[in-house]
Structure 1
Amino acid sequence: MRTIVQVALDLVETDRAIQIAKEAIEGGADWIEVGTPLIKSEGMESVRSFKKAFPDKIILADMKVADTGAIEVEIASKAGADVVMVLAGADDSTIIESVKAAKKYGVKIMADLISVANPISRAKELEKMGVDYINVHSGIDQQMVGKDPLDIISKIVDTVSIPVAAAGGLDAAGCARAVMAGASIVIVGGNIIRSADVCAAARMIRESVDSPSVVKVSKPSQDYEIRKLLLEVSTPNISDAMHRKGAMKGIRPMLKGTKMVGTAVTVQTFAGDWAKPVEAIDVAKEGDVIVIYNGSRDVAPWGGLATLSCLNKGICGVVIDGAVRDIDDISTMNLPVFASSYVPNAGEPKGFGEINAEIICGSQTVRPGDYIVGDDNGVVVIPKENAYEIARRAKEVEKTEKRLFEEIKRGATLSEIMKLKKWEKQ
């Protein structure tokens, strides 16, 4: 049987969601999921609107039913849903009532294993209670910290005889893995709905599930994935993902058009003392960023010779809370350098300070190993223990903005698309 591609419309505006659904169907999507945020924002009217717009498509209402199962299944079915999502972690009484109501109103039940502690044993119980589909799902917040639904899907498929869906950050490669693990349904949200070209994104997913064996699947290291994601996004994307935190103050790019992503080697020095900054070049490894607190905008601890030395080592860039000099030489070397100012004069190599201690740079705390990202907008610091999550969240911000750019290009304004007046705090 053909694998079902379900597009999850986790938006908050029905009109935008319907337009995106049309483009996704054109690209090969089969089922339409009215996402939980949309149902919470627009109510059952969103489900009615989708059934009216797509009368021949299966409409799934992601109600995430946790209580009053019969009532919620009834209202979803009467609004036009063909499948209703319940939480697998709900009490058995809620699941049983949901199943009874589904049979009464002619709809199906999909049980979502999100956050269930023992998903395999719970899947067995859900099948016995009469649910029609099992959804192996890592939620958006779980995905951001690296939880992957594909880690257990084959075990669930082997445990139950009803169809199994996979959901949670799936791209084309992830969908191929899910199909090869036995999934009958792949549920894709952000990688379709936040694409500038929704039709092409859906078509890529369609092709991957139809020919999963030809899709190249690899599992890179987490550091590789972090760096790859951070190279794809901007420092404003990262700042948004960090709730407007992490940006250094008063530090600007000395060269426009360069991008820097690396892990911090920190230097604490004093006005113009360039011994420890230069010695840090020998400590740093390929892929590192040297981050220096100098304490003066008038005396430089860094210049052209140090920059050239960094290039020899494969160092990704330099950040200086203070001054840099030899800007004419630095501008020809294409190494990202960020500083507070540039001046002619340097200090002396006295050797005060230390390397790889916690420092303050641009009013941000920086520790050895923290991820440093710089571009034309400035520099952000990402704590190393949260780097994977922030990189993933920044990528979601970037996807959302790409879609908004596309919709604005079609003639709308930003406030119209986001319905700002509707959502202003009352």
Structure 2
Amino acid sequence: MSAGFRIFTERPLPDPELVRAYGAFATAPVADAMNRMCAMNPCARLLSNAEGTMSGAALTVRARPGDSLMIHKALNMAGEGDVLVVSGGEPGRSLMGELMFRYAASKGLAGIVVDGAVRDADCLSELALPVFASGTTPGGPYRQGPGEINVPVVCCGQCVEPGDIILGDRDGVIVIPSGDAAALYETARQFHEKDAEKTRKARGGLFDRDWVDGVLAAKRCEIIEGVWKDRR
């Protein structure tokens, strides 16, 4: 087996109904339901004109830094509802552009996440396909390889395995491991509903701040009445 230059044609896929159900949630409450350990770093920025929550199954690409050959092959392999997750960014060199975005949209992909830069920003401003990347640069990629498809990758600070559920919105991107997705769903739904209720109250001017002092007391924080200099 040619490690570093190989393509796995199959991957475990989550239940499509479960993927669609997660798409009704924002990323933040689902991240909270996972103990806040599943979010990609801010390099995963939404650059296109997408609305709502991206939800799909990860098709992973480990690209050679600054090289798009395996990304093109993954696009040929991708199907409706997939999220293309790409590692291999390099400063000053984009990995994808308008032709690739429009091809992805024509195939019904749920979205694209690139740990690196892309280009053709004018296209992104009108594109409904969710495209997350660190930014833009006019510098183009090479197309020589090597690379790998459908292997575990690290994208924007998070490990992603093929078939994981990827959620994305204007806050960013989170990763739901495929083996945890079904068991997590009910907890995520409860977090979503609680978050919606707290947001509704806040928009009406109602805020619960008592929990702050409760946490401080439980952690035995000393509260001193007076000015710091008075202690000398």
* Alignment pair present for 1:237 and 2:34: no
Closer/same/farther in 2, CA of residues 411 and 346 from structure 1, 3 Å limit: closer
| CA–CA separation in structure 1 for the residues paired with 2:208 and 2:148 | 48
Query: Which protein is bigger by CA-based radius of gyration?
Result: 1
The 3-state SS of whatever aligns with 1:239 is helix
In the TM superposition, 1:63-142 aligns within 5 A as: none
Quick one: which of 405, 410, 414 aligns to 2:199? 405
Q: Percent identity?
A: 33
Taking structure 1 as the reference length, the TM-score comes to 0.45
Closer/same/farther in 2, CA of residues 373 and 297 from structure 1, 3 Å limit: farther
Provide, for residues 52-107 of structure 1, a one-character-per-residue CA deviation record: whole Å limited to 9, x for no partner.
xxxxxxxxxxxxxxxxxxxxxxxxxxxxxxxxxxxxxxxxxxxxxxxxxxxxxxxx
How far apart are residue 279 of structure 1 and its match?
A: 1.0
| CA–CA separation in structure 1 for the residues paired with 2:196 and 2:50 | 20
Taking structure 2 as the reference length, the TM-score comes to 0.81
- 5+ residue gaps, structure 1, are 1-221
Quick one: which of 135, 158, 178 aligns to 1:364? 158
| CA–CA separation in structure 2 for the residues paired with 1:312 and 1:360 | 27
The 3-state SS of whatever aligns with 1:276 is helix
For 1:325, the aligned partner's letter is R
- Counterpart of 2:132 in structure 1 is 338
Aligned residue pairs, count: 203
How far apart are residue 301 of structure 1 and its match?
A: 1.4
Quick one: which of 3, 23, 44 aligns to 1:251? 44
In the TM superposition, 1:15-414 aligns within 5 A as: 223-249=15-41, 250-258=43-51, 259-409=53-203, 411-414=205-208
| CA–CA separation in structure 2 for the residues paired with 1:408 and 1:301 | 41
Provide, for residues 264-308 of structure 1, a one-character-per-residue CA deviation record: whole Å limited to 9, x for no partner.
110011222111111101111111000000231321110000011
The 3-state SS of whatever aligns with 1:414 is coil
More helix by share: 1
**Cα root mean square deviation, aligned:** 1.8
Provide, for residues 88-130 of structure 1, a one-character-per-residue CA deviation record: whole Å limited to 9, x for no partner.
xxxxxxxxxxxxxxxxxxxxxxxxxxxxxxxxxxxxxxxxxxx
| CA–CA separation in structure 2 for the residues paired with 1:263 and 1:246 | 15
- 5+ residue gaps, structure 2, are 1-13, 221-232
| CA–CA separation in structure 2 for the residues paired with 1:257 and 1:368 | 23
| CA–CA separation in structure 2 for the residues paired with 1:410 and 1:302 | 43
Provide, for residues 128-186 of structure 1, a one-character-per-residue CA deviation record: whole Å limited to 9, x for no partner.
xxxxxxxxxxxxxxxxxxxxxxxxxxxxxxxxxxxxxxxxxxxxxxxxxxxxxxxxxxx
Higher RCO structure, 1 or 2 (CA under 8 Å, sep 6+): 2
| CA–CA separation in structure 2 for the residues paired with 1:272 and 1:409 | 45
Asked if the contact 2:48/2:126 (under 8 Å) is kept, the reply is: no
How far apart are residue 406 of structure 1 and its match?
A: 3.5
- Counterpart of 2:228 in structure 1 is none
| CA–CA separation in structure 1 for the residues paired with 2:206 and 2:197 | 12
Instruction: Give the ranges of 4+ consecutive aligned residues of structure 1 lying more than 4 Å apart after TM superposition.
Output: none
Provide, for residues 359-379 of structure 1, a one-character-per-residue CA deviation record: whole Å limited to 9, x for no partner.
111111111100111110001
Quick one: which of 191, 205, 214 aligns to 1:422? 214
